[in-house]
Amino acid sequence: MAKKRVELALQEEIETQGEWENVLQREGLIVVDVYQEWCGPCKAVVGLFRRIKTELNDDVLNFAAAKADGVESLDKYRGKCEPCFLFFGSGHLVAVVRGANPPVLEKTILEKLKKEHEILRGEDERVEIKDPVLLAKELAEADERRRKEEEEEVPQEVAVTVLKPDILESGRVDEIINDLTEKGIEIIERKEHTFTKDEAENFYDKLKDEPYFQKLVEFMTSGPSEVLLCVKGAEGVVKELNELLGSKVSGIDAENSCLRAKYASDTMRNAIHVADSKEEAARELAFFYPEFQPPTVRVSRPRLVVELAEDVSGIETQTPSGPFLADIPTGIQRTVALLRPKACALYKNEILQRIAEAGFTVALQKEVQLTKEQAKQYYSEHRDEKHFDELTTVMSEGPVLALLLARQGAVGIWHNMLGPWDVHEAKATAPDSLRARFAPPEPDPGNGEDSHSSINLLHGSTTEAEVEKDVQFFFPIERTVAAIKPDAYANRDEIVERIKSAGFHVAARRDIQLSKDLARQIYSNLKDKPFYEDLVHHLTSGRTLFMVLTRQDAVAGWRKLMGPTDPDRAADEHPDSIRAVYGKNVLENAVHGSTNTQHALESIKLIFGEEDVGLPEKTEAEAAKEGEHVGMSEKENTVEPAVQQLVEQNKSSEEASQETKKGDEPSPHEGATPDSNQPAEEP
C-alpha cells in the first residue's frame, strides 16, 4: 500500500477537463502520461520518473497521469494502447514521446527542464509545437476531405454481355471471361439463361426486319446462354466491349486480335452479344435484371470553365472548343506546362490566353531560373540523346514559367495542343499546334545568336506519373514564417483560424516579447530605411506570435492572404485579406510574412533555433529527392488557387511598379526580395 501512495504522490491524477485545465495553468515542466481507462497508466516508467525526481529535487519538474476518457482536450488520444507522454512548459506543448523508452524519456526530460529554467529566467523563449502524429493525421484527413469535396457519386455504367449457345456448347465460357478480365473488365453478376421464343424475339426486336431474324431466334433458343453484367470504371464499358469484340459480320480476319475473330464461326454464330449504345445497354439490363440497381462510384466533379472576376489584360475565359477536345477521358486531371525562357519572354500572354480558351484552370504558377545543372537533372532521362546539351542550354538561358493546369483530360488535351516535339515537324504536320505557332524566332548570326530552332518552346507532362514528378520538382511543399504583430495580437485566435481555413498547417508556434536586438536581426534588411527605428519600437511594444506555416504554396499563399502592406489599399483591392480586416496603417498592419523560401529558412533558424522546424521526418530517399530543389532561383513565385484569375501577374507587375515608386511594399506576386523598397516591412 505504501508503494501505491508514493506513485500517486509522484504523478498527479487527472480525470476531468477541469483538472486538466488547472494543471496546465501552472508554471514549470510537467510530464503527462496519457492513458486509457481500460489499461491504466504506464507502470514501466514510474521507477524512472521517481529516480529523476529524487535526484534532481527540482520543483519546476512535475509528473501527472491523465485519463484520456474523461478529458475533452485529449479526445484525439483515446483508444490508443501505446504509451504516450506529453511535455508541457507552463501550459504549452513542447515535446511528445511515444512508447515506454526510458533513455529517450530521460534525455527529453533533462533537455526540456533545462530549457524551462532558461525561459523562466528570461534567457530564452518557449517554442510551442503540435503533436507530429496528430498533425500528420490532420493533414491526411484534410486531404481526404478535399478529395471528397472534389468528387461526386454517380451510377456506374453497366453492360450486358451475352455468351451465345455456341460458346456454351464449345465449353469456352471461362476462356472468354479470362480474356475480358485481362482487359480490366469486371464481371459483377453472371447467370445461365435459356431464351424462350418470345424472349428471343423481344430481345432482338430491332432486327425483326432483317432476313436472318427467324434463324437468329432459332439459334438463340437452341440452348442455354451465359449472361454477364460487366463494368469498368465509371463509364465507357459499352464502347470498350464493342471495341474488344470487333466486327459483327462474318469473314473476320483470323489474325485480328478481337474476340469475335477468336471465337466466332459465322455471322450468326458470332459468340458474343453486347449492346451498341448505353441506351440499349440499359434496356437489356432491365430485360434480364428488372430490379437491379447499378453500383455507384466516386468521380471528380466536372469543372470545365474558369469564371474570372474581371477581364485581365483583355483575356477572357471561353467555353472549351477546338480539335484538341476529342476523345479525352473524363475526370479532372492535373498536368504541368512549362514555357521555356524564350516563350516566357516573347509569347507568355498569348500562350496564357490559349490556355484559358481551352478551359484550363491555372492552379499554380511559378517563374524560376534553372541552372544548367538543374536543367540536366530535370531532363536526366534524355542524357544519352543528341539534343541533351542543346535542351539544357535552352532551359537555363532565362526564367522558365511553370504552370500547374487542371481540367477534364488535362494530360491528353495539353499534349495534343502542344503538337510534335520537333519544331520543324510541328510546322509541317500540325501548323495550328502551340509548338508550331509559338516557335523560336530565326537567329541573327550577325549578332552572334546561336540557333536552337529544333528545340520547341513549350513542355508538357505526358503521363500522370510524369505530372507527379514535375509537381514535386517545380511546386514542392514550402514553409514560411508568419507573425501576428503586437497591434493585432489580441485578435490572434481569429487570425489563426483564418490561416487554417486557407489550407495552411501551423507546424510550430512561438509566442514572445521581441527584444530590440532580435527585432533588429529579423528586419536587418531594412536598417537603412528611415522608418526602421519606428518599426523596431512597434515590434517591441507588445507580444508577437510567430508561426511556421506549411502548404504547397506557403510563401506566396501567405503573402496573398496577408494582402498589401497598406491596410487602406488592402481594403480597396483585397477586402477579405488579413491586413484589410485587422490592419490600422502601414506600420501597424497586423501581420508579417517571409518574402521567399530562403528568407523563410533564415527566419526559422533565427526565431525557432532549428532549421528543420515544421519539416516531417524523411527517409533518406525523400531527403535526397528534396535536394533536387535546393538552389533553384525563384524570380517570381505566383501561386493561384484553382479558381483564381488567370494571368494576374500582368496586373500585379504594374501595381508593384507603381507602389515601389511610392515606397510601398511590392506585390506578393512579384517575388519581392529582402532589398525591396518598402515602408514598414519586408518580408
Active-site choice (273, 452, 538, 599): 273
3-state secondary structure of 512: strand
**Which H, E and C letters describe 239-273, residue by residue?**
HHHHHHHCCCCCCCCCCCCCHHHHHCCCCCCCCEE
Distance CA 421, CA 462 (A): 12
3-state secondary structure of 610: coil
Verify whether residue 505 is a known catalytic residue: no
Residue with cell 506543448: 93
Residue 485, annotated as binding a ligand? yes
Verify whether residue 459 is a known catalytic residue: yes
- Shortest CA distance to 186 belongs to which of 158, 155, 154, 209? 158
Q: Which one-letter amino acid corresponds to residue 672?
A: A
Q: How far is CA 132 from CA 216, 402, 495, 528, 566, in A?
A: 69, 32, 22, 40, 36
Residue 650, annotated as binding a ligand? no
Distance CA 406, CA 642 (A): 8
Verify whether residue 415 is a known catalytic residue: no
3-state secondary structure of 567: helix
**Which H, E and C letters describe 150-191, residue by residue?**
CEEEEECCCEEEEECHHHHHHCCHHHHHHHHHHCCCEEEEEE
Q: How far is CA 361 from CA 119, 266, 389, in A?
A: 49, 51, 33
Distance CA 325, CA 323 (A): 6
| Contacting residues for 295 by C-beta, under 8 A, at least 6 apart | 155, 156, 188, 231
CA dihedral 65, 70, 74, 78 (to 10 degrees): 90
Residue 301, annotated as binding a ligand? no
Cell of 69: 476518457
Distance CA 605, CA 510 (A): 13
Q: Is 48 left (phi over 0), alpha (psi -120 to 50) or beta?
A: alpha
- Residues 299 and 151: beta-carbon distance below 8 Å: yes
Active-site choice (452, 538, 592, 669): 592
| Contacting residues for 495 by C-beta, under 8 A, at least 6 apart | 484, 488, 578, 582, 590, 591
Distance CA 480, CA 396 (A): 27
The alpha-helical segments, DSSP class H, found in 32-101 are 46-56
Whole-angstrom Cα Rg for the chain: 33
Query: 312: which DSSP letter?
Result: B
Distance CA 240, CA 99 (A): 53
Residue 202, annotated as binding a ligand? no
- Residues 245 and 258: beta-carbon distance below 8 Å: yes
Residue 531, annotated as binding a ligand? yes
Active-site choice (459, 505, 538, 599): 459
Residue 283, annotated as binding a ligand? no
Name the residues annotated as catalytic. 273, 459, 592
Which residue numbers belong to the known binding site for ATP?
Answer: 485, 531, 559, 565, 579, 589
Which residue numbers belong to the known binding site?
Answer: 485, 531, 559, 565, 579, 589
